[in-house]
Amino acid sequence: MTNSPMDTATALLKRIETCEGTVRAFTTYDPVRIRMEAEQAPAGPLNGLSVGVKDIIDTVGYTTEHGSPIYTGNHSRGDAACVTQLRNAGAVCVGKTVTTEFAFFRPGPTVNPHDVTRTPGGSSSGSAAAVAAGMIDIGLASQTAASLTRPASYCGTVGFKPSYGRYAAAGIKSLAPSFDTLGTITRDVATAARADAVLKGPVATTSHLSPTAPTRIALCRTPHWDEAGEGTRHAVEEAARLFGAHVDVVELDLSDFSDAASLHITIMSYEASQALAWEFTQRRVQLSDQITGLLEAGQRIDYATYRDALARAEELRSRFAALVPSGTAVLAAAAPDVAPLLSEGTGSPLFSRLWTLLRLPTVTLPGLTGLHGLPVGVQLLAPFGEDETLLDQAAWAETVLPSRPVPSVHV
């Protein structure tokens, strides 16, 4: 932080040169522009921090290709709100990070910095991998199902998905607007809190993070515990044990939320098939089978079914609010297990659908490991709107969990 902007830029570029050939986290970055931005960055609370921008987010000076050949060479006229907010606060935009196709499943070229034969997760693949590899400090990421939490878990990073609507969505390609949520991937909670103080409003503020244990921790295995692998079971139980040495850990039974995942799929499919209507109608041959399947599924859902799903989701949100008192942190699995092999895709979103449906703020925390010492994250969640409390709790939890595993490309 006390380095000159040019020292920072030079160190940044050196790190990128070292790692990017292997990790392939960026769709594009420009050393000249990075130096220029570093030199010209206004004084602000994010000075010295570098940002990678998920490639579904409009960014002047770089292409915005949404992970799709339909948008090859696409330049936006302006920056998305979040990019302007971060730049105004003194951060340097390093470039665009790889996203899966339209933030759904078809992967880009990025690999996991902990094991280059494995996926970094998706859809925020490049942001998670670049942060894990130390190429950027803040990865802008988004989540419609599990697109932030899952890569954060696989890459051993901190993932913060705030309450739905907390950060401005202007200039971000939409997939399913009932769920689309902008968030960040960072190496520690403090950096997520610094970014939060900038992204939550029109004027940048300084974060006041105060690590604080939650009143209690509610361990929720979710209705999908049977599908959790060994790494995840161990991580969640171990986190509960470590936290339990300091605060009460109680069980949260959400077995009557078991329709949440299917409600999430109904709403997401219906909305995606509208959000991507032009691409489906005019550019179908350039779409993957995966996203075509999603859009066709959406077309088979009628309005009454969609509306009932929206109404039921609202009911579940109210029920959760009544069940979980303010000050409680919910502890839950972040992903089914360690990162799958690249050949298996970007992993399953199953362990986030419920939470995304509920629109809750969540922090994914690294420190625990599974097979071959690969990272396995755990989620801490809070009641809707308690984002700042959650960040304080996550900062406390960070001190209780083991240190973030260091990726192999780091050496």
Read off the DSSP letter of residue 179: T
Would you count residue 69 as binding a second copy (CB under 8 A)? no
Candidate ranges 7-15, 123-131, 186-194, 301-309; the one touching a second copy (CB under 8 A): 301-309
Q: Which of 169, 213, 242, 400 binds a second copy (CB under 8 A)?
A: 169
| Extended beta strands in 127-239, E state | 138-143, 158-161, 181-186, 216-219
CA distances from 96 to 114, 175, 186, 262, 287 (A): 21, 19, 16, 32, 21
Dist. CA 353–CA 144, nearest whole Å: 9
Which residues share a beta bridge with 369?
A: 375
On whether the CB atoms of residues 350 and 145 are closer than 8 A, the answer is: no
Residue among 267 and 368 whose Cβ is closer to a second copy: 267
Catalytic option among 50, 68, 123, 269:
123
CA-based nearest residue to 235, from 143, 120, 343, 365: 365
In the complex, minimum distance from the CB of residue 273 to a second copy, in angstroms, rounded to a whole number: 4
Residue among 240 and 297 whose Cβ is closer to a second copy: 297
Continuous segment of H or E residues that includes residue 97: strand 92-97
Would you count residue 320 as binding a second copy (CB under 8 A)? no
Q: Which of 36, 116, 168, 321 binds a second copy (CB under 8 A)?
A: 168
Q: Which of residues 244-273 bind a second copy (CB under 8 A)?
A: 270-271, 273
Q: Is residue 123 among the annotated active site residues?
A: yes
Q: Which of 2, 43, 77, 289 binds a second copy (CB under 8 A)?
A: 77
Q: Which of residues 359-398 bind a second copy (CB under 8 A)?
A: 385
Would you count residue 202 as binding a second copy (CB under 8 A)? yes
For β-strands 158-161 and 362-369, DSSP reports them as antiparallel
Would you count residue 88 as binding a second copy (CB under 8 A)? yes
Find where tokens 């959406």 sit: 298
Would you count residue 230 as binding a second copy (CB under 8 A)? no
Dist. CA 411–CA 401, nearest whole Å: 23
In the complex, minimum distance from the CB of residue 112 to a second copy, in angstroms, rounded to a whole number: 31
**For the chain, give me the number of helices (H) and strands (E)?**
13, 11
Would you count residue 109 as binding a second copy (CB under 8 A)? no
In the complex, minimum distance from the CB of residue 310 to a second copy, in angstroms, rounded to a whole number: 8
Would you count residue 295 as binding a second copy (CB under 8 A)? yes
On whether the CB atoms of residues 248 and 214 are closer than 8 A, the answer is: no
In the complex, minimum distance from the CB of residue 239 to a second copy, in angstroms, rounded to a whole number: 30
Candidate ranges 13-21, 300-308, 338-346, 358-366; the one touching a second copy (CB under 8 A): 300-308
Q: Which of 47, 174, 290, 292 binds a second copy (CB under 8 A)?
A: 174
Dist. CA 98–CA 110, nearest whole Å: 7
What's phi and psi for 60, nearest 5 deg? -65, 140
Dist. CA 316–CA 320, nearest whole Å: 6
Which string of DSSP letters, residue by residue, matches 350-401?
Answer: HHHHHHHHHT--EEEEEEEE-GGG-EEEEEEE-STT-HHHHHHHHHHHHHHS
In the complex, minimum distance from the CB of residue 190 to a second copy, in angstroms, rounded to a whole number: 19
In the complex, minimum distance from the CB of residue 18 to a second copy, in angstroms, rounded to a whole number: 32
Catalytic option among 124, 147, 273, 352:
147
Q: Is residue 54 among the annotated active site residues?
A: yes
Question: Around Cβ 110, how many Cβ atoms within 10 Å?
Answer: 30
In the complex, minimum distance from the CB of residue 162 to a second copy, in angstroms, rounded to a whole number: 12
Q: Is residue 96 among the annotated active site residues?
A: no
CA-based nearest residue to 357, from 312, 295, 327: 312
The residues assigned a catalytic role are: 54, 123, 147
| Residue ranges in contact with a second copy by CB under 8 A | 60, 70-71, 74, 77-81, 83-85, 87-88, 165, 168-171, 174, 177-178, 200-203, 205, 270-271, 273-279, 281-283, 295, 298-299, 301-303, 306-307, 385
